[in-house]
Every structure is written in C-alpha cells, then in structure tokens.
C-alpha cells in the first residue's frame, strides 16, 4: 500500500506535464510490443520457409522453386524469387546477386517500420520533463517573490516537487524507450543478416550445380573487347 500511495503522490505532485509524458510512454510501449511480435513472427516464418525450400534447392528444379517462391509470401522467398526471375534473363551470378540485393532493400523498410519512432518518443519525453522542470522553477521563483511569507514555504515545496517529478518521470519514460529501440533495431538487423545468408547459400548452391555462372566468362570477354 505504501508503494501505491507513493506512486499516487508522485503523479499528484508532478503537475500537468506528467500526463503528456505518460501518454508518450504508453505510445512507445504499444509500438514496442507490436514491433516485437511482428519481428518474432517474421524471424520464425523466414527460418521455416528457407528450411522448407532447401530440399527443392538441392534438386535444382527451377520450376518447383519458382512455384514455391510464388506461393510463400515471406521476405526470404520473395528475394529468392527475384533471383529466380533474373535467371530467366541472365545466368551470371553478379546479375542474379544484384536482383536479390534489390529484393533485400525492399524488405528492410517493413522490418524497420515504426522502430525509429521510439528514439523520437524518448527525446520528446526527456524534453517534456525538462519543460516541466522549467515551469516548476518559474512557479517556485514567482511564489518566493509574490506570496505571503506564511505560504512561501508550502508553495516553494510544491513548485519544486513539480520540477523534480517531471524531470524524473521524463527520464523514467525515455530510458526504457531507448533500450527497446536498440533491442528492436538489433532484432531487425539479425533478420536482415539471416536473409542475406540465405540468399548467399542459394547463390552458392546454384553456382555449384552450374545453374548459374560465376561471372568469369564475362570478365574474359570484357578483357578481349578491351584489348581489341
């Protein structure tokens, strides 16, 4: 009960700026939960999709691979689908790798969507806390200057409580939001790294199966053209 009373008193003495800081914290937590669940789902779907794709990759059956990529709306299969589509036009590894890189660039924004808002919200919470502190100090100096001597002590104490509580709550809101931003950013980067590794595995297997060329022939042709 003492903890509850302390929290209630903290908010009561915090002044107006406590509430917008609380709203910022709630918005940040909602975004964090949504992004955490989305990234966990995407990681699981990408891993499962590539595990299911590996048996097809070993068969070197391009038609079945294209059907699988078309039927599975997962970033890793869409990116492999970009490589398979390019294989209809060019058998050079560099061309196929470029096409898959474009697919990765298209997938990144969906993985990083709204995560950047967390750092912005953390800065807003800190600034609101600072603003509340300034307002509280202004009220404190005004109380000392114009209030009745018998009321100065109470008014000064109340104004300082507003100043300190808003600063503290601004930091209480900002610190976890910054930590969550870093954690979610790392999770998104890990998913992108996993997709890139899957793409490289696809390219290496297709190169070993001689479905695509490593690009040496094109380099030799370019040297002949340059020499002539």
The position carrying tokens 């995407």 is 42
Dist. CA 109–CA 115, nearest whole Å: 10
- pLDDT band at residue 152 under the 50/70/90 scheme: low
Q: Which residues have CB under 8 Å from 46's CB, separation 6+? A: 74, 75, 76, 191, 194, 195, 198
| Residues β-bridged to residue 213 | 92
Among 144-158, 166-180, 184-198, name the one with the lowest average pLDDT: 144-158
pLDDT at 59: 80
Q: Is the pTM of this model over 0.85?
A: no
pLDDT band at 33 (very low <50, low <70, confident <90, very high): very high
Q: Can you read off the two tokens belonging to residue 128?
A: 């609101």
pLDDT tens digits, one per residue of 53-66: 888 887 877 888 88
pLDDT at residue 218 in the model:
46
Convert the pLDDT of each residue in 34-80 to its tens digit. 999 999 999 999 989 888 888 888 787 788 888 888 888 888 888 98
Who wins on pLDDT, 47 or 217? 47
* Angstrom distance (rounded) from CA 69 to CA 211: 17
Cβ neighbour number for residue 5 with a 10 Å cutoff: 9
Q: pLDDT tens digits for 84-104?
A: 888 888 888 888 888 888 888
Q: Is the pLDDT of residue 127 over 60?
A: yes
Average pLDDT, the chain: 81
Q: Residue ranges per domain, the chain? A: 24-227
C-alpha torsion sign, points 106, 108, 114, 119: negative
Separation of alpha carbons 31 and 21, rounded Å: 16
3-class SS of residue 213: strand
Q: What are the φ/ψ torsions at residue 61 (nearest 5 degrees)?
A: -95, 100
pLDDT of residue 37: 94
Q: Percent of the chain at pLDDT above 70? A: 80
């Amino acid at each position: 009960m003492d903890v509850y009373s302390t929290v209630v008193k903290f908010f009561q003495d915090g002044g107006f700026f406590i509430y917008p800081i609380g709203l910022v914290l709630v918005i940040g937590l909602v975004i964090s939960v949504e992004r955490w669940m989305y990234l966990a789902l995407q990681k699981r779907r990408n891993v499962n999709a590539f595990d299911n794709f590996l048996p097809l990759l070993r068969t070197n059956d391009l038609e079945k691979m294209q059907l699988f990529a078309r039927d599975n709306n997962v970033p890793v299969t869409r990116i492999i689908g970009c490589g398979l589509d390019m294989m209809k036009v060019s058998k050079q590894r560099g061309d196929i790798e470029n096409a898959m890189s474009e697919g990765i660039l298209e997938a990144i924004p969906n993985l990083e969507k709204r995560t950047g808002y967390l750092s912005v919200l953390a800065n807003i919470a800190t600034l609101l806390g600072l603003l509340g502190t300034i307002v509280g100090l202004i009220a404190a100096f005004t109380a000392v200057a114009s209030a009745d001597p018998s009321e100065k002590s109470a008014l000064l104490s109340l104004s300082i409580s507003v100043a300190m509580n808003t600063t503290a709550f601004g930091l209480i809101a900002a610190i976890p939001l910054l930590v969550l931003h870093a954690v979610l950013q790392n999770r998104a980067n890990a998913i992108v790294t996993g997709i890139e590794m899957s793409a490289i595995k696809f390219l290496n297997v297709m190169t070993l199966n001689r479905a695509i060329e490593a690009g040496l022939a094109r380099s030799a042709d370019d040297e002949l053209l340059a020499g002539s």
